[in-house]
Amino acid sequence: MPKTLREALLWAKEVLAKAGIEMPALDAEVLLAHVLGISRVGIYTKTDRILSDFEWERFTDHVKRRAARIPLAYLTGKKEFYGLDFFVTPEVLIPRPETELMVEEGISFLRKYRGLKLIADVGTGSGAVGISIARHIPLGLFFLLDISQEALKVAKVNARHHGVYDRAIFGQGDLLEPLFYLDFKGKFSLITANLPYIPTGELKDLMPEVKKEPTLALDGGYDGLELYRRLLPQAHQLLADEGIILLEIAPYQGKAITEETRSLFQGEIKKDLAGKDRLVVLRKK
């Protein structure tokens, strides 16, 4: 039975709280605003408005799916990252705030870089990292790579939406392999990679929402570093002498990566806003 916006919010908050959702009131507001096509603030300017049958049915469906721990971003189809809204689907990892450190470092480096700016974003998913950097580096050429064709479809939508499609080249394949068909060895100024780095044995302990995200985008093998071990020899061939590689990691993985690759790279570990090791910066020796 249709309700007023106030009644709908109270009902949704109760349902989500019982389901163990961390912020039930916020999620209820976001879902109602999404269904109505208005802002969260807009809800409170018309709390006595009665939902139509269609709106109520759609809202209750969204709330029940959220209670089943479907991530909020998959229900609304978008996620804010680095000040931009990105289209997301269950085929891509949801962009995380901690990954913004990679974007900041990439932008800072490229603004000082002299020479041709070629950038490869490996495991691009929604394209959040590469596209966010591209928005701030107008003269760069960006290669957005992923093994998933469905993920690349999402990245293309986001590239068009944010006006960087004409400077983006999309490639499907394993890690950096698509680039070896081109004459770009030793020419890339920046390679970014937010690859799966969760150890296989830890997947079962993830939050219910995270388990709804693609396993392909989470599983990093027995110690979480298998894909990085395969990536870095490829990256060494493609990286310019003055270029850098940026890798997102779990807080305990930085030392292992820098030690394993010290014959090829000089490594530096950077911390996120929470003070945790989050980013490895690699330069050719």
* Cα 142 from Cα 147, distance rounded (Å): 17
Question: Helix, strand, coil % (nearest 5) of the chain?
Answer: 45, 20, 35
Alpha-carbon 69 to chain mean position: 19
Tell the burial category of 29 from Cβ atoms under 10 Å away from its Cβ (0-12, 13-18, 19+).
Answer: buried
Q: Is 115 left (phi over 0), alpha (psi -120 to 50) or beta?
A: left
- Contact indicator for 47, 62 with CB cutoff of 8 Å: no
* Cα 231 from Cα 32, distance rounded (Å): 43
Considering just the CA atoms, what is the radius of gyration of the chain in Å?
21
Q: Is 123 annotated as a binding residue?
A: yes
Q: Is 189 annotated as a binding residue?
A: no
Determine how many CB atoms are found less than 10 A away from the CB of residue 78.
Answer: 17
* Cα 234 from Cα 122, distance rounded (Å): 11
The b/e string for 103-132 (b: 16+ C-beta within 10 A; e otherwise) is: bebbbebbeebeeebbbbbbbbbbbbbbbb
Q: Is 124 annotated as a binding residue?
A: yes
Q: Is 258 annotated as a binding residue?
A: no
Residue 80's alpha-carbon distances to 33, 47, 146, in angstroms, are 15, 26, 21
Q: Is 146 annotated as a binding residue?
A: yes
Task: Please state the residue numbers annotated as binding site for S-adenosyl-L-methionine.
Answer: 123-127, 146, 194
Task: Please state the residue numbers annotated as binding site.
Answer: 123-127, 146, 194
